[in-house]
Structure 1
């Protein structure tokens, strides 16, 4: 709004208001008297511009966006701690602590003999990545093996500013109320580990609502995560009673996305000095990145479509690839649409 206002413009406009029979040259009394006030006025305009930007959700900085969100009953989602599976040769005590590289984990619950839930002590997605042998922080008699394995519930980082801004702006488009779609979407997304959600009205036995979720790593959720979500949304022991986030009368079934393995055959012409053995990893990485983009938009689309044109254009961007043609998806030279509640995973890639 104030992009055209400068200190020089303000000063010139002020000097133009002074009669021409007065000396207005730089260094004159009138020039030296007006110039500091013009600078202060410019600073005032600059501050007003910043204040106006902070008043609106599409331009506000994070600090003021959070204040605006409070008026809509919205708060930024905090970082959460990853829940992992630990495998031991003995039953370790609840509360025992272990370390792996730079992170520490604490035993929180027994799953079965020698298998326990561990919570990362550091909040955020960092707790999702390490796998391998754990080192006990305190001595445990009889402990011979301790392995950190599966991610049961992914840890999530603090909500990004642009994601919070999107939620704020979307809050004006649809009202979340009493178990409508927006209400379910908002509340399920607020639960730990959820990266995508779809809701359906169904008639499956006693169920009248089905919720399909993808985890925060854009993968199929673990059985532990699904159990936690079911309990938080509509506990199985008293379904339909409104004791979770689902309204009374809603009998909800929570399911995870399925995974569809997809094979590819590429006919690639390589540049001099390159071959399939050298570029196979780059092609696999390209496919994984394409799949990740599709999975991030899974909840907003009826179904995911794997497109040959997208694969070939991305392959051509790989250094060492001169040309590509006759690409096959699962042995067929056609785009592939997968089930609406499924996400793609990379299968066999050949050349």
Structure 2
């Protein structure tokens, strides 16, 4: 009997199970109906025993990584020398102007701002750049601030300020790691130990940088001792120039390459870049039944295709399963068609074209280029 079967057995031992088991041992000539003396005497005990069975089932489930949840899973992670990834804070860049549209120089580190809207997002200034723009972080961790670009209002009083605006998301945040993601990390086969600058070691380095969503490692890409890291942010989009610079300085500072002043081993010259976006435009003919609004159905189709592309980027750093080395990914027209056909109201659809071609797209992953699939224009005729 495996743990799943044992837990299921305990789960089946409910109130009725224990009550009937005890009543089976009562002589037949004694009244056993609900409301009888013997029934009322045994029912409370049956309830307690059912609760104990449920507790046993819970203990068994929380004992193993495969079924543990919440803090129980956190404890198992600690036993494996890791921990649940915490939610991070969105990092943004903002400009601060006076009434003439000129940058002001009296915004201070620690000043606070808020987005406009019914549910404002609060930001704190962390750094003032030489061009008088500021680097801010959202006060609340999580992805809520990842999509806001626009005007912000001062919370800290500033008489010189006429206009403040977020102009760029420097590093999108991530939410707290889910049970499923943490469980997958813990159960993943550890074929290689992170050691001495091997590929697993570099992946471990990237995993410790909160702003990095995923990465690819290309060893000896430009000769012995050279390593290229290709990174995306927490939105699984190409890393910004600021994030690329930050990761470079953490792993192998630009002013002392190969000297071991970062996380990389001595003599490793590390290059950090963002992937090359491959914009994919999609066109298909779709037949929609008469009971659904055409515009709503088309909007849902575009949303479903967008989710498919997001899942592609989520698997972008998966090792090629055929060779066990390098990376491989293909955008399949059949899978996009499947996404279209699953939308309510769609009765038929043509196999879509990708960038005006009737072929699937195999992404390029080599020492010079690492492509990242990005959804472009979606044209739905019919």
Q: Is the 8 A contact 1:134 1:146 kept in 2?
A: yes
1:327 is displaced (CA, Å) by 2.8
CA distance in 2, matches of 1:322, 1:11: 53
**What is the Cα deviation at residue 145 of structure 1?**
2.3
Cα distance change on mapping 1:211 and 1:40 into 2, 3 Å: same
Offset of 1:103 from its aligned partner? 1.3
Query: Which deviates the most, 230-239 or 75-84?
Result: 230-239
Distance 1:266 1:29 in 2: 73
Residue aligning to 2:13 = 5
Following superposition, the deviation at residue 219 of structure 1 comes to 0.6
Distance 1:273 1:38 in 2: 53
Pair 1:169 & 2:187 matched: yes
- The equivalent of 1:346 in structure 2 is 375
Partner of 1:310: 335
TM-score normalised by the chain length of structure 2:
0.80
Do structure 1's residue 68 and structure 2's residue 83 form an aligned pair?
Answer: no
What is the Cα deviation at residue 138 of structure 1? 2.7
Unaligned residue ranges in structure 2 (runs of 5+):
1-5, 98-102, 320-326
- How far apart, CA to CA, are the structure 2 residues paired with 1:85 and 1:45? 55
What's the CA shift string for 1:83-111, capped at 9, x where partnerless? 10102231333332211131111222233
1:15 and 1:24 in contact (8 A); partners too: no
2:126 is the alignment partner of 1:97: no
Cα displacement string for residues 14-40 of structure 1 (whole angstroms, at most 9, x for unaligned residues)? 56667x6x9654388887776655554
Confirm whether residue 51 of structure 1 aligns to residue 56 of structure 2: no
- Report how far residue 334 of structure 1 moved: 1.0
Q: Give the paired residue count.
A: 349
**Residue of structure 1 aligned with 2:262, choices 231, 244, 249:** 244
2:164 match: 146
Aligned-partner Cα distance in 1 for 2:46–2:344: 56
CA distance in 2, matches of 1:279, 1:68: 44
CA 1:306–1:24 in 2, change beyond 3 Å: closer, same or farther? same
Name 2:273's counterpart in structure 1: 255
Report the CA distance shift for 1:24/1:42 in structure 2 as closer, same or farther (over 3 A). Answer: farther
TM-score by length of 1: 0.87
Summarize deviations over 1:277-299 as a string: whole Å, max 9, x none. 77654443333222111111111
Residues 199, 219 of structure 2: 8 Å contact kept: no
- How far does residue 233 in structure 1 lie from its aligned partner after superposition? 1.7
1:16–1:136 CA distance, 2 compared to 1 (3 A): closer
Q: Note closer, same or farther for the CA distance 1:32–1:123 as it changes in structure 2 (3 Å cut).
A: closer
Deviation of 1:248 (Å): 3.3
3-state secondary structure, aligned to 1:197: strand
Equivalent in the alignment of 2:324 = none
Query: Given that residues 248 and 271 in structure 2 are in contact (C-alpha distance below 8 angstroms), is that contact kept between their aligned partners in structure 1?
Result: yes
CA positional deviation for 1:114:
3.5
Contact 1:87 1:148 in 2 (8 A): yes
Task: Judge which range, 216-225 or 80-89, deviates more.
Answer: 80-89
Asked if 2 retains the 8 angstrom alpha-carbon contact of 1:125 and 1:154, the reply is: yes
Q: Does 1:183 align with 2:201?
A: yes
| Cα 1:4–1:299 shift into 2, 3 Å | same
Kept in 1, the 8 Å contact 2:89–2:140? The answer is yes
Q: Distance in 1 between matches of 2:244 and 2:226?
A: 18
For structure 1, the residue ranges without an aligned partner over 5 or more in a row are none
Q: Distance in 1 between matches of 2:58 and 2:192?
A: 29
The correspondence of residues 189-204 of structure 1 with structure 2, limited to 5 A, is 189-204=207-222
In structure 2, the residue corresponding to 1:119 is in which secondary structure? Answer: strand
In 1, Cα distance between equivalents of 2:84 and 2:293? 48
Alignment partner, residue 82 of structure 1: 90
Q: 1:29 to 1:206 in 2, by over 3 A?
A: same
- Measured in 2, the distance between the counterparts of 1:196 and 1:46 equals 40
